[in-house]
Structure 1
Amino acid sequence: MMLAGSDIAKTTTHKVVLPFYIYAALAFVVSAVLLLASSHAFSGHYFQPKILAVTHAMALGWGTMIILGASHQLLPVLTGGKLYSPSLAYLSFIFSGTGIPLLVWAFYIFDMHWPAQYGAVLVNTGVLLYLINVGASIDQSRHGNVHATFIFTAGVWLFITTAVGGFLVFNFTAHILPENSLHYLSLHAHIGIAGWFLLLVIGVGSRLIPMFLISKFNHPGMLWWMYFLINGGLVIFLILFLLPFPSFTYLFPAALVAAALVLFGAYCRHAYRQRIRKQVDGQMKISLLSVLMMIVPMVFLFTIIAVLLLSGASTSLVLAYGFTIFFGWLTALILGMTFKTLPFIVWNKTYHAKAGLGKTPHPKDLFSSRMFNGMAFSYLAGFVCFAVGILAGNTLITQAGAVLLLCSAVLYSGNVFKIFFHKATVK
């Protein structure tokens, strides 16, 4: 395991990375609280203020912020160089971290004036600074590879996503677009889901999963196929949306993305089978489970398209689709990978200068296994419970699921802070 950790330990300073992890942990708790307070809303239409608030708290505060931090840490591992500018990383954190609460609050109270508009501008500024930093880091390293290409392209899609989101926010009051903001919601959501989250998860996951499994498997050709399938699907989706085309034509870009997911599953399976370390820990089990969980939203997506062709949109299916993305595979991957990367970052910060002076704890000793197991159990139970509640239209079931997810978020955050405040102990 130390072989895997050594690559992470020698990269970007912890001062850049740790604020993103802490912010994301707090955002996860806030998102779970909002989910519990808004669980009744999931029995209605998906375009509601409280659902928009939960979605953006999860997508931006939880998913995006921790991915920004992790990619700052991992980019030097992937390119063999250094992060171009820690200062840009700090500024990205400040702008994004300030803008996200404004946006979430604006959606919750549905005030599309200054809170939402200032929030959108700040988030877009933070994302642009991140994209510049990533591009400059890859350029100066002159050692770009398929993983770095995934990260940069995902960053481009992220900026497009937040830019479209910014236009939608201003469109509520200024009417700058031909249609109302609800018309463009699917465009905004799918650019972010497939272009930002999926590309980034595959680009980084295809490096981290074999690394932490200590696997010999490496197949850049498969990754390039995934890259072109996802981006091709996104471009076709944009064309179909903007022209527009009949609903059945959306099956084609969805099939391309589904094919990329099948390839990613096969990639992870090969990495698992060729691993050197035969015993797989709990963190990796959750991370690998997240790969399987990618199937769930794709099933919902194809079902939604089929229902649209036959009888019109089903709000419960749309809500379940979004929930299984943000609280499903994305959250499962983060829960697993946090406790593979963060302990190494803090261990390196704390014990790098003390190596060889005595016996130091293992990175896995920096967090509580009992809290981790409790987090995993409450997460899986809460995820299944809430998803069933959405489909059944039962508020009591969704509330029970939300309580379990809140327990998972609290245990996750408690463990993150336990690592963060770890004090050196050398024997």
Structure 2
Amino acid sequence: MSDVVYTTTHRVVVPFYVYAGLAFLVATGMLFTGAAEFSGHYFQPHILAITHTMALGWGTMIILGASHQLLPVLMEGELYSVKLAYLSYTFTGIGIALLVWAFYIFHMGWPAKCGALLINAGVIAFFVNVVMSIVKSKKENIQAIFMLTAAGWLAFTTLAGGLLICNFTENILPDGSLHYLSLHAHIGIVGWFLLLVMGVGSRLIPMFLISKYDSPKILWSIYGLINGGLITFIFIFLREAVSVLYMIPVLCVTGGIVLFGFFCRKAYRQRIRRQVDEEMKISLLAVVMMVLPLVFLIAVIVTLMTISADVHMVLAYGFTIFFGWLTAIILGMTFKTLPFIIWNRVYHARAGTGATPVPKELFSSRLFNIMAVCFIIGFISFVAGIVISNGIAMKVGALLLLLCAFLYNANVFKLLFHKDRML
């Protein structure tokens, strides 16, 4: 086995983390100022702006950055193209800003269309980079298959989103854009976020727990259940079948989540390092939080069988995904991955000499713990506010989530401005 450790330069990866952190701050700021709107219908300009800031600016950008860092490690080879990585960042970053602004002011003309076009261009650059990196490598790796498939679903999601943007003004689809919103959202949520988080998590969680547990059989089962469930959902949606049939893809995805929880539990129980740090606790909490969106989704399907979907359940469902498990996994994994990237940049030349701090010392554990408390209490408060239609609970929750985002950014920038410290 080669002793060479393949990685991607921090110049490619770090900008994605910075953009994502600032997007999280912007999203929580909009959440605080527009909390009252979560008492109404989910199809509102400001809610659309918040959702896309979280889904694209926060979730997608940080995953793109982490993927550029992790893919060479998985494939034991170099990233196919650094230039494509820069193009992915530039196109996607500008496109997200334009699209979110367009949603916020609800201008579905050139700002939205240009934003959608640029996002698609950035995603295509990322997809090509993933495909070519895997093709170049002779290493077979199930996590890379997860990443490749998720990247394909992301491209499908952004293409569908672009069509929905054009459909606002051009009427190119048989029905209005609101009709296809569920299809667009679930391809992104299940195909991109859930599939990629499970694939990458199946490598990172055992690695950071220092656990030797691995089960390709379970991972292939998860892969089949998630993709099978999503394909079934698309088929049912396009056939406009009765609501009860949506329980089939829900059960498939639930099965995948249960297996992933089992995988993480086995990795946890077989860990070598007995003490689990706070960053991993938040990441493991995110695995548990995957159950919450399923609860609200089932509630939505049940109400659809009777009259129509309860808008509060729909809002709670979306909120628990983007501000819940997805944010939790990012908060935890940021401070497990970014410190190593910065440490490698600053101390690589002195590695192995024993004269360097450990990566965990590059950020503030105290700030992290306060951030985690603000996140948990703020999340619970806002979800409760949505369910019981309590504006005060939502305002308090939004304020705590805004503070969480501020502390997250403070710790990230503390990392980024770390200078060589001689010991």
Q: TM-score, normalised by structure 2?
A: 0.98
The structural deviation recorded for 1:122 is 0.2
More displaced 10-residue stretch of structure 1: 9-18 or 50-59: 9-18
- Give me the whole-angstrom Cα distance separating, in 2, the residues matched to 1:99 and 1:353: 38
Q: Indicate which of 146, 161, 174 corresponds to 1:150.
A: 146
Tell whether the 8 Å contact from 1:79 to 1:145 is kept in structure 2 after alignment: yes
The structural deviation recorded for 1:356 is 4.9
| Deviations 1:108-166 (CA, angstroms, capped at 9, x unpaired) | 11000011000000000000000000000011012131100000000000000000000
| Deviations 1:348-381 (CA, angstroms, capped at 9, x unpaired) | 0000012355611110000001100010000000
Equivalent position SS for 2:13: helix
Task: State yes or no: 1:140 paired with 2:136.
Answer: yes
In structure 2, what is the equivalent of residue 127 of structure 1? 123
Tell whether the 8 Å contact from 2:6 to 2:78 is kept in structure 1 after alignment: no
Q: Which stretches in structure 1 are left out of the alignment for 5+ residues?
A: 1-5
In structure 1, what is the equivalent of residue 297 of structure 2? 301
Q: Indicate which of 388, 391, 395 corresponds to 1:395.
A: 391
Task: State yes or no: 1:211 paired with 2:203.
Answer: no
Task: State yes or no: 1:96 paired with 2:92.
Answer: yes
Task: State yes or no: 1:169 paired with 2:161.
Answer: no
Residue 216 and residue 245 in structure 1: after superposition, are their counterparts in 2 closer, same or farther (change >3 A)?
same
The residue correspondences of 1:7-406 to structure 2 (distance < 5 A) are: 10-356=6-352, 359-406=355-402
Residue 225 and residue 358 in structure 1: after superposition, are their counterparts in 2 closer, same or farther (change >3 A)?
closer
The structural deviation recorded for 1:403 is 0.2
Q: Which stretches in structure 2 are left out of the alignment for 5+ residues?
A: none
- Give me the whole-angstrom Cα distance separating, in 1, the residues matched to 2:6 and 2:342: 12
User: What amino acid is the match of 1:350?
Assistant: V
The structural deviation recorded for 1:77 is 1.2
- Give me the whole-angstrom Cα distance separating, in 2, the residues matched to 1:73 and 1:22: 15
Q: TM-score, normalised by structure 1?
A: 0.97
User: What amino acid is the match of 1:72?
Assistant: H
Tell whether the 8 Å contact from 2:6 to 2:76 is kept in structure 1 after alignment: no
Cα RMSD over matched residues?
Answer: 1.1
Tell me the matched-pair count: 421
Identity, % of aligned pairs? 61
User: What amino acid is the match of 2:139?
Assistant: H
- Give me the whole-angstrom Cα distance separating, in 1, the residues matched to 2:240 and 2:68: 38
| Deviations 1:287-334 (CA, angstroms, capped at 9, x unpaired) | 000000000001111111111112321000000000000000000000
Write out the 4+ residue segments of structure 1 that deviate beyond 4 Å after TM superposition. Answer: none
User: What amino acid is the match of 1:227?
Assistant: Y
- Give me the whole-angstrom Cα distance separating, in 2, the residues matched to 1:93 and 1:284: 28
User: What amino acid is the match of 1:343?
Assistant: P
| Deviations 1:246-299 (CA, angstroms, capped at 9, x unpaired) | 000000011000000000000000000000000000000000000000000011
User: What amino acid is the match of 2:98?
Assistant: L
In structure 2, what is the equivalent of residue 3 of structure 1? none
